[in-house]
Structure 1
Amino acid sequence: MAPYHIRQFQDRDHRRVLDLFSRGMEEHVPAAFYHMLTLPHSLLLLPAVPVTIVLVSGSWLLATVYSFLFLLCLRLIFWVSCRNYVVKCLQADLADITKSYLNAHGSFWVAESGGQVVGIVGALPVKDPPSGRKQLQLFRLSVSSQNRGQGIAKALVRTVLQFARGQGYTDVVLVTGNMQYSAMSLYQGMGFQKTGHYFVSITKRLMGLSIFHFTYSLPSVWEPRM
């Protein structure tokens, strides 16, 4: 296991950060595709239409071609949706990380191993937190597939929590997709609690892609004596 250390982002890391984020997001496409196939309406549609084609036309070849093209189009839809999201992020906060995070009262960290950036995470203050709360939001957690299983993701999250404590935040919050199984397991294992669950659109609901909101409540620095 190669040693690693976590440090603040530097401009020379930018290209590697973008690559890590893009590759990490694209890894979710197969999981989302297979998840879609297990939904009730997919299980009904997939066999029903080919059978109907056979009954009407008598052609198994036509039914097979339909099934292949349907699955291909479905996979393409997920890939395009992922790419659009990645492009949106690359043109937003990831276009200028120093400006978006370091100069906006937040921070951005990288995990470095063997001279290479292998993990990333960012954090920004929540603009309109609930009354009486001061919240920090965790963004863009990603670790290279070759460097997983070494505790890097957990160390990056701990870095965000330590930063939040030092800055006097009451909570660390984040949102993640339901296809990010390992991420959700990590957050829950570290004490984050699910505090919300929603779909961003009807299309996402049909695709079975939902968003979970997590919150980690930080203990008060000052506790009154009994």
Structure 2
Amino acid sequence: MASYHIRQYEEKDHKRVVELFSRGMKEHVPAAFRHMLTLPQTLLLLPGVPVTIVLVSGSWLLATVCSLLFLLCLWLLIRLAWRNYVARSLQADLADITKAYLNAHGSFWVAESRGQVVGMVGAQPVKDPPLGRKQLQLFRLSVSSQHRGQGIAKALVRTVLYFARDQGYSEVVLETSCVQYSAMALYQAMGFQKTGQYFVSITTRLMGLSVLQFTYSLPFAWGPGM
């Protein structure tokens, strides 16, 4: 028997939802940092900077210090990018979840365990979908680190899919960053197909942090397995 249940969002959940989102996004900073270290430009700079400094100054100590400063700058750049994203989100849809989701023909759900909100997900209609399609977009999927591995994320995604089916949508779409590996694996395991990839800005392009787009096509009738 599941140790959690999923229900619709209530105003009293707002503080906990904001905490879940903020902590969940913060967890991706190390993954983004490791991702940046694998980029061709970073792999060129990491050995190139100290070698150049040694050739110019003859000091290995200075070269080591500069290399460490370079890595620190990368780390701070990623932290800043993530913090800015969280801040924008908290001022946008997460500022008033009822208005952004429940009053906009969408919905927002939380997973509750022992009286505490441990997971969340939202859904909004896509305003300008491709011709002939009715799309619902999945947003803000997050599960507390202490409650992962219990199938909560999968249950939350299924909740969105059921809602989309009942409301007559033809597709559920979503976007996630290229370093959210667990989320991508979950979506693909549940039948979402990657349909696009883009960079939000020149800065994210330089950082190699792309946004991936996924689509789930809803069948006319689901079998008992769903």
1:25 maps to which residue? 25
1:101 maps to which residue? 101
The answer as to whether partners of 1:108 and 1:122 remain within 8 angstroms in 2 is yes
1:168 maps to which residue? 168
1:40 maps to which residue? 40
How far apart, in 1, do the equivalents of 2:11 and 2:95 lie?
11
Normalised to the residue count of structure 2, the TM-score between the two structures is: 0.96
The answer as to whether partners of 1:7 and 1:111 remain within 8 angstroms in 2 is yes
**Structure 1 position 119 matched with structure 2 position 104:** no
How far apart, in 2, do the equivalents of 1:104 and 1:221 lie?
26
Q: Percent identity?
A: 78
Larger CA deviation: 200-209 vs 164-173: 200-209
In structure 2, list runs of 5 or more residues that go unmatched.
none
1:218 maps to which residue? 218
Which amino acid in the other structure matches residue 30 of structure 2? P
How far apart, in 2, do the equivalents of 1:200 and 1:192 lie?
22
- Secondary structure in structure 2 of the residue aligned to 1:120: strand
C-alpha deviation, 1:202, in angstroms: 2.4
The aligned runs of 1:6-155 (5 Å cut-off) are: 6-155=6-155
C-alpha deviation, 1:221, in angstroms: 4.8
2:181 maps to which residue? 181
The answer as to whether partners of 1:9 and 1:110 remain within 8 angstroms in 2 is yes
Provide, for residues 61-111 of structure 1, a one-character-per-residue CA deviation record: whole Å limited to 9, x for no partner: 111110111111110000010000000000000000011100110000000
- Secondary structure in structure 1 of the residue aligned to 2:131: coil
Change (3 A) 1:19 1:37: same
C-alpha deviation, 1:201, in angstroms: 2.1
How far apart, in 2, do the equivalents of 1:23 and 1:159 lie?
23
How far apart, in 2, do the equivalents of 1:136 and 1:38 lie?
34
How far apart, in 2, do the equivalents of 1:221 and 1:167 lie?
13
The answer as to whether partners of 1:50 and 1:64 remain within 8 angstroms in 2 is yes
Q: Any runs of at least 4 consecutive aligned residues in structure 1 with deviations exceeding 6 A, and if so which?
A: none
How far apart, in 2, do the equivalents of 1:33 and 1:16 lie?
27
Normalised to the residue count of structure 1, the TM-score between the two structures is: 0.96
C-alpha deviation, 1:2, in angstroms: 7.0
- Secondary structure in structure 1 of the residue aligned to 2:70: helix
Provide, for residues 150-171 of structure 1, a one-character-per-residue CA deviation record: whole Å limited to 9, x for no partner: 0000000000000001101110
**Structure 1 position 203 matched with structure 2 position 200:** no
C-alpha deviation, 1:198, in angstroms: 1.4
The answer as to whether partners of 1:2 and 1:113 remain within 8 angstroms in 2 is no
